[in-house]
Amino acid sequence: MNDLSNGALLEKHCCSCKPIPVLGLYILVTLFLIGLSVSIFTLIAVRNAVLLVSFLILCSLVLAFIFWNRRNWRTKGAILFFLRSLPEADLRQAQEGQLVKITGFASCGSVSLESSYERARSCIYASTLLYEYGGLDLKPMTVNRSCFQWSLAYCERFSTDFYITDKKSGLRALVKAGAGCRVIPLIVESNLVNTTSHCRVFSPPLRKWLSERNISDEARLLRLEEGYVQDGSTVTVVGIVHRNNDVTMIVQPPEVVSTGCLWRKLLLPVDIDGVILSVSPMADLSINRDSGQNMGW
């Protein structure tokens, strides 16, 4: 079993400006100060505001480009576009060490998972996220929270080794997503519990779940999301083909893979360090079959 919880917390609370390099930001700030100084000097000396207006428009476009890339980095948009651009591979024809995209039915290996809140069994991946609104503190961990916005307060995210049956060739491969493996999940969690300002009373199942994790059950604004992939679901994985004693495996790339510049989407390169796990679009409705509704308690 592979614990991905710390990675999820770091992603949610990361304050970096990825995928924009830090050096690039310093250069942009320097150019902004120089350009602003020249524009103001021109406005005062020549009394012509054309340069200043043009400079402000250019700055607005650059800021929009930065925020667009930042937003897509947080939502893994560039990785999703990269995933869709890869052609489906045939495991029968795939070579050793080849980066492949395989879609097929998932089946549990020697270890299966159970989702934290709904107790869904026979899962290959499970993720439960608890969000708090405001700056309230929870007992299990200390994280940075901002006022007037939702912040991740608690996380349980796990993956395990599983098998995938290639829909093209019918071959079965072992996907190494267990302990010690790097995994990039592209699974969207469903909103199970969402308290409101008019109703902050917790249900007995939620109180029990909070109590088992030593989290305060005081009335406050909470949002609980859960996502999982069960045995029999149609999934898509991206990784490196490795064969050992007639056993075909999909493992993480030995080196970081770059998505490259996606100019049609105005996205900068993003590094991929691990096996990509996604749910096939046709199987979205089969994931969390009973958790599609938002529930107010």
Q: What pLDDT, on a 0 to 100 scale, did the predictor assign at position 199?
A: 65
Does the structure show a pLDDT above 90 at 160? yes
Q: Is 93 exposed, middle or buried (CB count within 10 Å of its CB: 0-12, 13-18, 19+)?
A: exposed
More confident residue, 109 or 291: 109
Alpha-carbon gap, residue 214 to 205, rounded angstroms: 14
* Cα 180-181-185 angle, rounded to 5 deg: 135
146 falls in which pLDDT band (50, 70, 90)? Answer: low
Alpha-carbon gap, residue 246 to 241, rounded angstroms: 12
Does the structure show a pLDDT above 90 at 244? no
Helix (H) or strand (E) holding 215: none
Q: What pLDDT, on a 0 to 100 scale, did the predictor assign at position 223?
A: 87
Collapsed DSSP state (helix, strand, coil) of residue 258: strand
Cis peptide before 19 (omega within 30 of 0): yes
pTM of the predicted model as reported, rounded to 2 decimal places: 0.78
CB 160 within 8 Å of CB 176: no
pLDDT digits (tens, 9 = 90+) for 26-50: 888 898 899 889 888 888 888 888 8
One-letter amino acid for residue 239 of the chain:
G
Question: How confident is the model over 139-156, as a mean pLDDT?
Answer: 63
Alpha-carbon gap, residue 291 to 276, rounded angstroms: 24
Does the structure show a pLDDT above 70 at 263? yes
E-assigned strand segments in 199-289: 222-230, 234-244, 247-251, 257-258, 271-272, 275-279
Question: How confident is the model over 115-134, as a mean pLDDT?
Answer: 89
Kindly state the DSSP code that residue 95 receives in the 8-state scheme.
P
Does the structure show a pLDDT above 80 at 143? no
Nearest-Å Rg of the Cα atoms of the chain is 23
Sign of CA dihedral 92, 125, 253, 273: positive
Whole-angstrom CA distances from 121 to 106, 115, 124, 170, 230 are 14, 7, 9, 25, 7
Does the structure show a pLDDT above 70 at 202? yes
